[in-house]
């Protein structure tokens, strides 16, 4: 054997790469020699997609129709093989029901467990005991949204047990909940990251989350909270306790009024990333006050995303959209002083911008590396007669004004010629992905070449909605692929 294969760092790297081979190579390596046995077995058993491989090592264990059956009377001396492999498990996923109990001498068998995931509504003591450890850093609980009192009770019970996991930093909870989780969540003072998507969220639960001292990353569905009740709760809470004292990254499903309320109490200049999921339809004008509040409290915001839908009358076979349902440059002007690196407008309709608006935006946010102006198919949702006021000239404007832009989603009028910006920008522009929607037929003879001249790093040009001109855009794509090769 080559001496290099006995160097631990080299061996670990080789075995890590071997994980891509469905573990068959590692199984052979474990049987090859004593020096490789333990490192290979550590890799094989480190991540378990199910508890079945491990529990099958217990005498009397069987699996029938997706349910694991255990014999709790197994003697300790017959569990040696189970212990040998259990100590190697660092990550496990539970999605099977378990009937029976673990032997009493195996109360919490996975001492080295770092992350665990439960995707089962049938959560008993076995699943729970095989999901927790003193070294647990991340825990995921997804039990589904079907109404069930037992599932809601199980969620509360499991979260209550997590307070014993003193190393826990990341938690994700999804599913039906009809109980207040104020007490179990409020006890998790070590959390750095929390994702909370519940069928019902109480004001008390929300306030318990807001007091977590180390919470820096929050993803929460708060669209069912009462704005009036939450306003009272926050006002009373903030008299004595800090409100999200460490929050830097927020993803929230909420209405405009609730977001404006939160911004009044968030700590100044700590928020760096904000993703708003506005699932309930609203007019763009409803976001004027929240945008002003965001600009006031988050002057260091770098990443901003808003998912937005509009009200469409079900009685209209072909809905029409008055101008007040389109975002305009004026709606985003309150955000113009923010040092944004990413601006994503994932809206049902494309914004009603002009070339002059794009030029103004490049002066607001010259450091943008990603710019999405509407969803990929937003143009498809407009009337056939509606044409974007943005022209191909805005691509040159963006190349000149946003020199770090790497990804762009835009709906524009592709009719006409694309000119190279003057003066020609120094260096190679980094734009790699360009998604274009247009109702106009592009110039198939020159568009690809001009795009590459302006954006020499461009890897893909992807048409979004292109109306009746799919054939022409296919030619543009084909020509671009040939030129870029």
pLDDT at position 78: 84
Angstrom distance (rounded) from CA 228 to CA 31: 65
Angstrom distance (rounded) from CA 293 to CA 257: 11
Coil, strand or helix: which one is 196?
A: strand
Q: CB within 8 A of 54, min separation 6: which ones? A: 45, 48, 82, 85, 86, 89, 92, 130
DSSP string across 42-91: HHHHHEESSSHHHHTTSTT-EEETTEEE--TT--GGG-HHHHHHHTT--E
Identify the residue with better confidence: 223 or 103: 223
Q: CB within 8 A of 98, min separation 6: which ones? A: 51, 55, 67, 68, 69, 70, 122, 124, 126, 127
Helix 447-454 with 470-484: angle, nearest 10 deg: 50
If phi over 0 gives left and psi between -120 and 50 gives alpha, with beta otherwise, what is residue 29? alpha
Angstrom distance (rounded) from CA 26 to CA 47: 13
Q: CB within 8 A of 436, min separation 6: which ones? A: 410, 411, 412, 414, 461, 462, 463, 464
pLDDT band at 315 (very low <50, low <70, confident <90, very high): low
User: H or E stretch including 174?
Assistant: strand 170-175
pLDDT band at 80 (very low <50, low <70, confident <90, very high): confident
Angstrom distance (rounded) from CA 364 to CA 367: 9
Taking the CB of residue 176, how many other CB atoms lie within 10 A of it?
18
Give strand pairing partners of 74.
none
Lowest mean pLDDT among 133-142, 340-349, 416-425: 416-425
Report the helix count and the strand count for the chain, using DSSP H and E: 17, 18
Mean pLDDT of 273-288: 89
pLDDT band at 189 (very low <50, low <70, confident <90, very high): very high
Strand extents, DSSP E, 257-330: 273-278, 303-308
CB-hemisphere CA count at 13 Å for 6? 6
pLDDT at position 66: 82
Question: Is the pLDDT confidence value at 34 over 90?
Answer: no
Mean of all residue pLDDT scores within the chain = 89
Name the phi and psi angles at 430, rounded to 5: -85, 0
pLDDT in tens, 286-299: 999 999 999 999 99
pLDDT in tens, 125-156: 888 889 999 999 999 999 888 888 888 888 99
CB-hemisphere CA count at 13 Å for 484? 21
Helix/strand/coil percent split, the chain, to 5: 35, 20, 45
Question: Is the pLDDT confidence value at 5 over 70?
Answer: no
Angstrom distance (rounded) from CA 126 to CA 97: 9
Question: Is the pLDDT confidence value at 21 over 70?
Answer: no
* Gyration radius (Cα) of the chain, Å: 28
Coil, strand or helix: which one is 462?
A: strand
Give the range with max mean pLDDT: 56-65, 271-280, 400-409.
400-409
Q: What is the DSSP letter of 378?
A: G
Taking the CB of residue 417, how many other CB atoms lie within 10 A of it?
11
DSSP string across 110-125: -TT--EEEE--S---H
Length of the chain: 485
CA 278 from chain centre, in angstroms, equals: 16
Mean pLDDT of 322-332: 87
Quickly list H helices, 140-239: 149-161, 182-186, 203-210, 227-237
CA dihedral 367, 373, 376, 377 (to 10 degrees): 180
Lowest mean pLDDT among 27-31, 101-105, 181-185, 400-404: 27-31
Angstrom distance (rounded) from CA 430 to CA 427: 9
CB-hemisphere CA count at 13 Å for 361? 28
Strand bridging mode 249-253 / 303-308: unpaired
pTM of the model: 0.90
pLDDT at position 24: 72
Question: Is the pLDDT confidence value at 76 over 60?
Answer: yes
- The closest of 224, 225, 184 to 208, measured between CA atoms, is 184
């Amino acid at each position: 054997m080559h001496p290099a294969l006995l160097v631990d760092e080299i061996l670990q790297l080789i075995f890590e790469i071997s994980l891509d081979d469905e573990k068959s190579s590692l199984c052979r390596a474990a049987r090859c020699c004593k020096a490789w046995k333990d490192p290979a077995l550590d890799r094989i058993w480190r991540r378990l997609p199910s508890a079945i491989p491990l529990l099958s090592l217990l005498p009397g264990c069987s699996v029938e129709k997706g349910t694991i059956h255990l014999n709790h009377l197994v003697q300790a001396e017959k569990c040696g093989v189970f212990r040998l492999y259990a100590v190697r498990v660092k990550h496990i996923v539970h999605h099977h029901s378990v009937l029976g109990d673990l032997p009493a001498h195996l109360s919490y068998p996975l001492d080295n467990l770092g992350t665990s995931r439960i995707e089962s509504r049938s959560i008993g003591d076995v699943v729970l005991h095989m999901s927790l450890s003193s070294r647990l850093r991340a825990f995921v609980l997804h039990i589904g949204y079907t109404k069930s009192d037992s599932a809601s009770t199980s969620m509360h019970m499991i979260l209550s047990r997590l307070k014993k996991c003193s190393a826990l930093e990341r938690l994700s909870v999804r599913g039906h909940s009809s109980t207040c989780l104020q007490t179990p969540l409020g006890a998790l003072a070590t959390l750095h990251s929390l994702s909370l998507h519940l069928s019902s969220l109480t004001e008390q639960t929300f306030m318990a989350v807001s007091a977590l001292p180390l919470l820096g990353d929050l993803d929460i569905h708060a669209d069912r909270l009462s704005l009036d009740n939450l306003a009272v709760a926050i006002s009373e809470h903030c008299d004595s306790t800090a409100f999200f004292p460490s929050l830097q990254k927020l993803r929230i499903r909420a209405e405009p009024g609730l977001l404006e309320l939160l911004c009044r109490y968030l700590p100044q200049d700590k928020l760096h990333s904000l993703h708003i999921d506005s699932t309930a339809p609203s007019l763009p004008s409803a976001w004027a006050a929240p945008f002003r509040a965001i600009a006031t409290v988050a002057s260091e915001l770098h990443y901003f995303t808003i998912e937005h839908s509009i009200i469409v009358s079900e009685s209209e076979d072909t809905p029409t959209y008055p101008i007040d349902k389109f975002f305009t440059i004026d709606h985003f002007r309150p955000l113009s002083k923010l040092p944004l690196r990413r601006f994503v407008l994932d809206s049902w309709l494309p914004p009603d911008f002009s070339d002059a608006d794009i030029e103004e935006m490049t002066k607001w946010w010259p450091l943008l590396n990603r710019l999405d102006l509407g969803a990929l198919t937003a143009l498809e949702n407009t009337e056939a007669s509606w044409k974007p006021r943005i022209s191909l000239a805005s691509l040159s404007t963006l190349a000149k004004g946003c020199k770090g832009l790497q990804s762009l989603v835009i709906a524009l009028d592709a009719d006409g010629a694309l000119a190279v910006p003057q003066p020609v920008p120094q260096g190679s522009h980094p734009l790699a992905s360009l998604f274009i929607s247009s109702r106009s037929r592009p110039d198939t003879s020159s568009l690809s070449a001009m795009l590459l001249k302006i954006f020499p790093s461009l890897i893909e040009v992807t048409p979004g909605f292109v109306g009746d001109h799919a054939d022409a855009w296919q030619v543009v794509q084909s020509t671009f692929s040939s030129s870029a090769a």
